[in-house]
Structure 1
Amino acid sequence: MSRALQPFEELVELDAEALRTWCARTLDALGREREDIDAINVYPVADGDTGTNLYLTAEAAHQAVEEAFAASPPDTAETVRAMAHGALLGARGNSGTILSQLLRGMAGVLADGCDGDHLARALAEAATSARRAVAHPVEGTILTVATAAAGACATGGTLVDVARNAYEGARTALAATSGQLDVLERAGVVDAGGQGLVTVLGALLQTVTGQTPPDPATAPRRPAAPEPHEECATDGGPAYEVIYLLEADDTAVELLRGRLDALGESLVVVGGDGLWNVHVHVDDAGAAVEAGIEAGRPHRIRITHFAADSAAATGRGERAQRAVVAVVPGEGLAGLCAEAGATTVRTRPGEQPAGDELLDAIRRAHAREVVLLPNDTDLRQTAAAAAERARAEGIRVALIPTRAAVQGIAALAVHEPDRRFDEDVVAMTAAAGATRYAELAVAERQSFTSAGVCQAGDVLGLIEGDVAVIGTDLAETARTVLDRMLSAGGELVTLVVADDTPPDLAPDLERHVRRGYLAVDTTTYHAGAGAPPLLIGVE
């Protein structure tokens, strides 16, 4: 049995194993309280996922620590850095992102020592760094609770004294949050993020004392009324939550902060040393991602549509009945699918999302029933595994084997959440299956294909995944591919173009279809950056 599951006597100093224990107990405690914390989540957005986001952030920290121990027994400094780095990579939502910065702030001090004095200074640095990371700090939130925890142990003392004082200071501050924000007072709850931080500090206290901490509920924890108050609604607020990891230097990040602050609200940028986690609520998700592209290299991009989450939060924290999760290339398609109510996972050139990313998206959809659209043949097994893991958590998941983004668009177009689940899945599957798909790509090297030998720089026209046309001109190759596809009939052509595709290509293809196929309609979408030059769908 690992030490993470065993009680032990009061500690004088946190060592690597004790930090490992703290991570494990934090994850366990947040797992038990996740639904309760979700249920009181009314600020900054009443989307009922703060507990889940904190849990997923803690899960990423715990996994990073376990991986460090599996490689070779780490020392204390390596353990605390692994914990903070894992939380940074896996931070979810507003509160999860702030929690990752709190852990990062603590790690900078605890790497030099883990006695009572160092823990007191670590909590102070954590509270300060978290406030710096938030564009517009608000009292009555997790930031207030963090500051109170640090202030309660400012004089230092033994490790046990500091841990206990921090926990009690946080409990007292948490109870006061309901009177610091009108939205909390009217809902009759304390701050959800603050509640989560008290849980994290409670796990720390248990780690150093071996005893279960007292109940943190010093104020009402659940809404007094079954219906959300007007102040808890998302009407009038930004439509999307955008989160991504960003590789960029400090100067670029400072400019990014200013640009994102002008675009939206709830801006939190955490990290450092070239790697950052960016969180913001905006109406223009594409602009938020484009700002990241200009600053550096964004990846692990997650866009969540608050309209779907608002439905999920009806009754405060209850799951929506049904949601759609779609894997798409390019931020433009991600925004398009998000506008249709889908939770999206964005692919990156040459990379496929891992099963954990798909499972995370299913969880973020916060629904009892989820339709999963992988939109890639090579992703089907990974998607199937993620769906199976989600089913083990009690979520009903239907995997529609869409093989291209245009099939996913067709499926999403006929999605009706008010239908019976099975009927909706059948309709979406039929729409996807009735859509033939093609893609244009540029050959990177000489290669043998089903259409012959191609040279580096040749334009390849792939129909249903196989190379059918090899050309030297993008427009000419696209016309040839369209003609071959429409020779078998069709009523609607869907064109999806990337940012770096020549701007006259789509209009040229639309004219080509109008001239040669009078009964066929054409629709064009912009995929944004990171997508193939052209995707074609024929229904």
Structure 2
Amino acid sequence: MPHPLDADAVRTWCALALDALGRAREEIDAINVYPVADGDTGTNLYLTVESARSAVDAVFDAHATTGPTARPALPEAMRAMAHGALIGARGNSGTILAQLLRGMAETLAADAAGTAGETDEAAALRQALRRAAESAYEGVARPVEGTVLTVGAAAAGAAAAAEGDSAAVAGAAHTAARAALAATPRQLEALGRAGIVDPGGRGLVEVLGALERTLRGATAPAAPATDAGTRAWQAAGCRADPGEAAPADGAPAFEVIYLLEADDDAVHRLRARLDALGDSLVVVGGDGLWNVHVHVDDAGAAVEAGIDAGRPYRVRITHFGSARTTAAAAAREPVQRAVVAVVPGEGLAALCERAGATAVTVRPGEPPASGELAGAVRRAHAREVVLLPNDPALRHAAAAAAEQARGEGVRVALIPTRSPVQGIAALAVHEPGRRFDEDVVAMTAAAGATRHAELAVAERRSWTMAGVCQAGDVLGLIDGDVAVIGDGLAATAETVLDRMLAAGGEMVTLVLGADVPDAVAERLERHVRGGHLAVDTVVYRGGQHSPPLILGVE
């Protein structure tokens, strides 16, 4: 019996799509040769849909607290699916899939489908699939045919011409997608040369097949089967394993992905900047939250562009490890390397020095000038230096110091750390024996994966993003913005930690100021242990006079 297009259908669709991608994951990974042969498209799509399903389940769980039969409406469930996919999107294809779902959510939310009969449902689904294809093309800087975009467009075209209920529309879209997938080797040279279909399109076929099964009344994952699209390209002599296919010479070395909080104008400028830096650029999202994906040679520049546009987080940087970079690494002689870290206290300075870094201690009210930082780079006596400013206010001084040192023949990489806890995370993965670029990438990724907060005491009455504070109030700043106004240091820190850990985390770092008693750290450790299972806590005596407490969540 057909299933109506409602919130329950969205939940079932997520479950069926995740099951289908789980069964097809290895096959899709094996045919991943374009744009980079990194063998992870199936895994990326699976993780993207897994995040979408978790978001939908969370919406249902929230409604269940109001009554056993309470359900979200279709628009809310669809928006949750799209948002979950956006924040969990992995890789080029996962990012495009998130945008496809966002396009569907925009239309279904506007039409509030599923409440006025099958005819309205079918019309809404046709419009949703059309908007999905359009929005996917809009999100890709340089669309290429023979990819997931082509498969999505074919599905939308067939849906628009389909007659009948929503299940028939979904079936037409699925059938057209399989046919378009089989044609991709003839559209894209890299696929034809390797004898395979587009892996992103292969994943989309699974997602659309799950939608069709849902609307036809399926309630459990279907038995494993080889779909018609796969049979078509296998019959044409295509193979499932592309072997050692590699990207063309000159292809970028790194994949950079991050979530970005920014306005539309800033994202427009970011697109132009990243398009000049690399290729495979996909920027999707809206309403202030975006998922950015790009392939570049300069991963640091891609992250810095995001910092200029807004607030990037969940930064993931992957080195493709192509033959040309491996050969270059083998030809390079080992070099001496150093890390220079700016810190606000003697305890942090000692910690950094034990980790092998040169520390520059900030005196209260006297931030170091670029000349002082350049001097620290010189004192490191290294041909390669990683500079960690650990404070957004020092960014320009650090950039000027890096340029000065480069003019003196030192290779300097500036990682734009905004807090000492990000610097600690970067130092934790620092390996001097690694290639310089790889070391910088690993340190940048570790810093970007660390959310930071600090506690401060208000000096006067003022307006903040969390409301009006009075002199003497304890302020909890998360990623630089006031998020909590409290009475005591420990209690406010507990609230801040709960908010940060609500988004997930594996480790909490506490950096105690000079005047903060050990009892505060002990209380916060108990709080984390009691309320957040499987989260570890590490405590350092930073020795800084301000701020009294610095927090990090990785």
State the TM-score bracket (shorter-chain normalisation): 0.5 to 0.7
Q: TM-score, normalised by structure 1?
A: 0.61
CA contact (8 A) 1:263 1:282 kept: yes
Q: Go from structure 1 to structure 2 and tell me whether the alpha carbon gap of 1:340 and 1:202 turns closer, same or farther (over 3 Å shift).
A: farther
Deviation for aligned residue 1:293: 1.6
Q: Go from structure 1 to structure 2 and tell me whether the alpha carbon gap of 1:187 and 1:274 turns closer, same or farther (over 3 Å shift).
A: same
Partner of 2:14: 23
Matched, 1:441 2:453: no
Q: Go from structure 1 to structure 2 and tell me whether the alpha carbon gap of 1:296 and 1:468 turns closer, same or farther (over 3 Å shift).
A: closer
Q: Go from structure 1 to structure 2 and tell me whether the alpha carbon gap of 1:492 and 1:223 turns closer, same or farther (over 3 Å shift).
A: same
Q: Secondary structure at the match of 1:52?
A: helix
The one-letter amino acid paired with 1:86 is G
> Following the alignment from structure 2 to structure 1, what is the Cα–Cα distance between the partners of residues 431 and 191?
51
- Within 5 Å, give how 1:501-520 maps onto structure 2: none
> Following the alignment from structure 1 to structure 2, what is the Cα–Cα distance between the partners of residues 119 and 249?
29
Deviation for aligned residue 1:82: 0.3
Matched, 1:220 2:244: no
Matched, 1:528 2:415: yes
The one-letter amino acid paired with 1:119 is L
Query: Could you list the per-position Cα deviations for residues 240-287 of structure 1 after superposition, in whole angstroms to 9, with x for gaps in the alignment?
Result: 111111111111111211121122111111111111111111112122
Provide the alpha-carbon RMSD of the alignment. Answer: 4.3
> Following the alignment from structure 2 to structure 1, what is the Cα–Cα distance between the partners of residues 90 and 202?
16
Partner of 1:135: 141
CA contact (8 A) 2:28 2:202 kept: yes
CA contact (8 A) 2:383 2:411 kept: no
Partner of 1:182: 189
Q: Go from structure 1 to structure 2 and tell me whether the alpha carbon gap of 1:531 and 1:470 turns closer, same or farther (over 3 Å shift).
A: closer
> Following the alignment from structure 1 to structure 2, what is the Cα–Cα distance between the partners of residues 493 and 93?
31
CA contact (8 A) 1:64 1:86 kept: yes
Partner of 1:281: 295
The one-letter amino acid paired with 2:73 is D
The one-letter amino acid paired with 2:244 is P
Q: Go from structure 1 to structure 2 and tell me whether the alpha carbon gap of 1:271 and 1:469 turns closer, same or farther (over 3 Å shift).
A: closer
Give % identity.
52
The one-letter amino acid paired with 1:200 is V
Q: Secondary structure at the match of 1:529?
A: coil
Deviation for aligned residue 1:52: 0.9
> Following the alignment from structure 1 to structure 2, what is the Cα–Cα distance between the partners of residues 101 and 34?
20
Partner of 1:162: 169
Q: Go from structure 1 to structure 2 and tell me whether the alpha carbon gap of 1:470 and 1:276 turns closer, same or farther (over 3 Å shift).
A: closer
Query: Could you list the per-position Cα deviations for residues 35-75 of structure 1 after superposition, in whole angstroms to 9, with x for gaps in the alignment?
Result: 10111111121211111111111011011111112222422
Q: Secondary structure at the match of 1:242?
A: strand
Uncovered stretches (5+) of structure 2, i.e. residues with no partner: 65-71, 115-120, 390-394, 433-554
Query: Could you list the per-position Cα deviations for residues 297-337 of structure 1 after superposition, in whole angstroms to 9, with x for gaps in the alignment?
Result: 111111111116x79xxxxxxxxxxx9xxxxxxxxxxxxxx
Query: Could you list the per-position Cα deviations for residues 203-242 of structure 1 after superposition, in whole angstroms to 9, with x for gaps in the alignment?
Result: 111111245587242433563776435xx43432111111
Query: Could you list the per-position Cα deviations for residues 367-403 of structure 1 after superposition, in whole angstroms to 9, with x for gaps in the alignment?
Result: xxxxxxxxxxxxxxxxxxxxxxxxxxxxxxxxxxxxx
Q: Go from structure 1 to structure 2 and tell me whether the alpha carbon gap of 1:88 and 1:224 turns closer, same or farther (over 3 Å shift).
A: closer
Partner of 2:313: 299
> Following the alignment from structure 1 to structure 2, what is the Cα–Cα distance between the partners of residues 292 and 61?
24
The one-letter amino acid paired with 1:185 is G
Partner of 1:113: 113
Matched, 1:53 2:44: yes
CA contact (8 A) 1:189 1:219 kept: no
- Within 5 Å, give how 1:251-290 maps onto structure 2: 251-290=265-304
Partner of 1:171: 178
Deviation for aligned residue 1:527: 3.6
Q: Go from structure 1 to structure 2 and tell me whether the alpha carbon gap of 1:234 and 1:305 turns closer, same or farther (over 3 Å shift).
A: farther
The one-letter amino acid paired with 2:277 is L
Match of 1:89 among 87, 101, 107: 87
Q: Go from structure 1 to structure 2 and tell me whether the alpha carbon gap of 1:238 and 1:10 turns closer, same or farther (over 3 Å shift).
A: same
The one-letter amino acid paired with 2:132 is A
Partner of 1:208: 215
> Following the alignment from structure 1 to structure 2, what is the Cα–Cα distance between the partners of residues 176 and 471?
65
Deviation for aligned residue 1:340: 7.8
The one-letter amino acid paired with 1:209 is R
Q: Secondary structure at the match of 2:47?
A: helix
CA contact (8 A) 1:440 1:461 kept: no
- Within 5 Å, give how 1:315-334 maps onto structure 2: none
> Following the alignment from structure 1 to structure 2, what is the Cα–Cα distance between the partners of residues 493 and 140?
43
Match of 1:69 among 60, 63, 73: 60
> Following the alignment from structure 2 to structure 1, what is the Cα–Cα distance between the partners of residues 148 and 398?
48
> Following the alignment from structure 1 to structure 2, what is the Cα–Cα distance between the partners of residues 135 and 44?
14
> Following the alignment from structure 2 to structure 1, what is the Cα–Cα distance between the partners of residues 295 and 403?
34
Partner of 1:78: 76
Uncovered stretches (5+) of structure 1, i.e. residues with no partner: 1-8, 312-322, 324-338, 342-412, 415-434, 444-448, 452-458, 510-521
The one-letter amino acid paired with 1:23 is C
Q: Go from structure 1 to structure 2 and tell me whether the alpha carbon gap of 1:527 and 1:200 turns closer, same or farther (over 3 Å shift).
A: same
> Following the alignment from structure 2 to structure 1, what is the Cα–Cα distance between the partners of residues 431 and 37?
40
Equivalent pairs, count: 385
Q: Secondary structure at the match of 1:195?
A: helix
Partner of 1:39: 30
Q: Go from structure 1 to structure 2 and tell me whether the alpha carbon gap of 1:204 and 1:237 turns closer, same or farther (over 3 Å shift).
A: same
The one-letter amino acid paired with 2:272 is G
Q: TM-score, normalised by structure 2?
A: 0.60
Q: Secondary structure at the match of 2:232?
A: coil
